[in-house]
Amino acid sequence: MQYVIKDMFETITLYDNKVADVNAIELENGKYQVEIEFNVSKYRSDEKGKRFYGEKAGDNLTYQTEEMEKPALSVHLSDYIDIGVFTDKEVEGKKKEVALYFKKHKITAINNKMTIIVDGKPTEVGVDPYNRLIDTNSDDNRKVL
């Protein structure tokens, strides 16, 4: 967890987290299998707003698909980031968001895929869903099913 000191106190560290794709399948036992693909990118900024992705040239992560014009870059990752699967429940006549699954996962790559089994029908999935990390575009951290 030493990275947290550097990220939060010694440098200006920002994230670009995004749920790329999500799919939920109802299983025979009534549970749901949720498949999530998401991207996590971390970068640093200097006092003038210039982004950099490593301490020296080549000291970063890259990810690119054929559809991407340019690769996604990131400072090396070894971060614990919240992943959440949510549903809506009615409580006292009002809709309330309830977490079916909420756990920190150690993230070491830009592109990530995981499968989670939950007890109820999911309505939304998120990477850093409560925006605890400073994200350049937090609107794409969640995806509705």
Domain housing 61: 2-144
pLDDT attached to residue 84: 98
At 83-140, the pLDDT tens digits run: 999 999 988 889 999 999 999 999 999 999 999 999 999 999 999 999 999 998 999 9
Which amino acid is residue 71, in one-letter code?
A: P
What is the C-alpha separation between 138 and 15, in angstroms, rounded? 9
At 27-56, the pLDDT tens digits run: 999 999 999 999 999 999 888 888 888 776
pLDDT attached to residue 92: 86
1 pLDDT above the threshold of 90: no
pTM, full prediction: 0.90
How many separate domains does the chain show? Answer: 1
57 pLDDT above the threshold of 70: no
pLDDT attached to residue 141: 97
Q: For residue 99, with 0-12 CB atoms within 10 Å meaning exposed, 13-18 middle and 19 or more buried, which class applies?
A: middle
142 pLDDT above the threshold of 80: yes
Q: What is the 3-state secondary structure (H, E, C) of 68-82?
A: CCCCEEECCCCEEEE
